[in-house]
Amino acid sequence: MITPHIYIVGTAGCGKSTFTAGFKAWFTNMGVDVITVNLDPGAESLPYTPDVDIREWITLADIMDEYGLGPNGAQIAAADLIAVHINDIRDTINKIKTNAVILDTAGQIELFAFRKSSHVVLNALGTPAFIVFLFDPLIVRNPLGFVSMLLLGASVQFRFNIPFIGVLSKADLLEDDEKNKILQWSEDQDSLYSAVEEKRGDMYGHMSASLFKVLEDLGTYRRLIPVSAEELYGFEDVYNAVQQITTGGEDMSPD
Ligand SMILES: Nc1nc2c(ncn2[C@@H]2O[C@H](COP(=O)(O)OP(=O)(O)OP(=O)(O)O)[C@@H](O)[C@H]2O)c(=O)[nH]1
Ligand SMILES: [Mg+2]
């Protein structure tokens, strides 16, 4: 049986845990049995009850105490310790028969994006693996923020080379015209370029042009999927994107 592993990734506070809760609720509503895994050792409270929880092995508070570290140093140590415990975590996940595994990652995206431990995790937990990358609306409503986020997304893609699904998170916070503008930027390079030039003038024209060329070559321009975990819409489109890649379109049948 194919069991997709769907990693929910994004900048601090972009809505990963709430998305995880909403996605699980959507699957349950569709009669599809999926499990959630919390990979954030620093999570204090979660809007869902994880089926597997990294905090059973490691918590940020314990690491800070034990090693006398501050929160940032402890996050790095925690990321490395997750890699140490990954076989136990994998065995615990594999004991549960399920159609898909949704994994909520830690807020500090640089840990996931840049450190070797995340590779160890992805390799150990198996395939097919997907990254659902959440774009925070409060950052990407500004064209410069949008480009920065595309670059961050591109470096995550570059690092892992697994299917990447871009989501406009908390879409309910945006007015329709603002949301449509962001969606247009996500698939139409010229409209994004014009918006950036308008903000920055042509002082950095050459840099912008080179950057946009790189993003185009990387295939970064793909329409984001708007999702609201608050109003519960958009999950079907995310599911369809996963489905399309996993099975070429066939339904993940419930057990
Ligand atoms: N309006 C609205 N608010 C949301 C949505 N999703 C999340 N939020 C709010 O955004 C805040 C952060 O959400 P979290 O799900 O904790 O975000 P996170 O990415 O898991 O945060 P960290 O793990 O701390 O990085 C919370 O106050 C949520 O209630 C959404 O779809 N709509
Ligand atoms: Mg979270």
90 compared with 212, residue with greater pLDDT: 90
pLDDT at residue 203, rounded to an integer: 56
For the chain, report the end-to-end CA distance as a whole number of angstroms. Answer: 11
Task: Cis check for the bond before 128: say yes or no (omega within 30 of 0).
Answer: yes
* Sheet hosting strand 5-10, strand order edge to edge: 52-53, 35-38, 101-104, 5-10, 129-135, 164-168, 225-226
Q: Tell me how far apart the alpha carbons of residues 212 and 194 are, in angstroms, rounded to a whole number.
A: 11
| Choice from 18, 54, 108 to test ligand 1 binding pocket (greatest atom count within 8 A of CB) | 18
Ligand 1 centroid–CA 204 distance in Å is: 34
Residue 34 β-bridge partners = none
Indicate whether residue 15 lines ligand 1 (CB < 6 A).
yes
Provide the residue type at 137 as one letter: P
For residue 230 and ligand 1, the question of a CB distance below 6 A is answered with yes
Residue 30: exposed, middle, or buried by beta-carbon count in 10 A (0-12, 13-18, 19+)?
A: middle
pLDDT of residue 255: 44
For residue 247, pLDDT over 80 is answered with no
Q: Which atom of ligand 1 is nearest to the CA of 40?
A: 23
Most confident of 49-58, 115-124, 159-168: 49-58
pLDDT attached to residue 253? 54
Q: What's the pTM value of the predicted model, to 2 decimals?
A: 0.94
More confident: 250 or 147: 147
pLDDT for res 251? 65
- Ordered by where they begin, the domains of the chain are 5-247 (3.40.50.300)
- Tell whether the model's pLDDT for residue 248 goes beyond 80: no
Q: Closest-lying ligand to the alpha carbon of 14?
A: 1
Rounded to an integer, what distance in angstroms lies between the CA atom of residue 142 and that of residue 51?
37
Band (113; pLDDT cuts 50, 70, 90): confident
- In angstroms, what is the span from residue 102 Cα to ligand 2's centroid? 13
Residue matched to tokens 């042009």: 209
What is the distance in A from the centroid of ligand 2 to the CA of 108?
10
Model pLDDT for residues 176-227, shown as the tens digit of each residue: 999 999 999 999 988 998 888 887 765 566 777 788 888 888 877 889 999 9
- Identify the nearest ligand to the CA of 230 by its number: 1
- Contact residues for 234 (Cβ-Cβ < 8 A; gap 6+): 167, 171, 225, 226, 227, 228
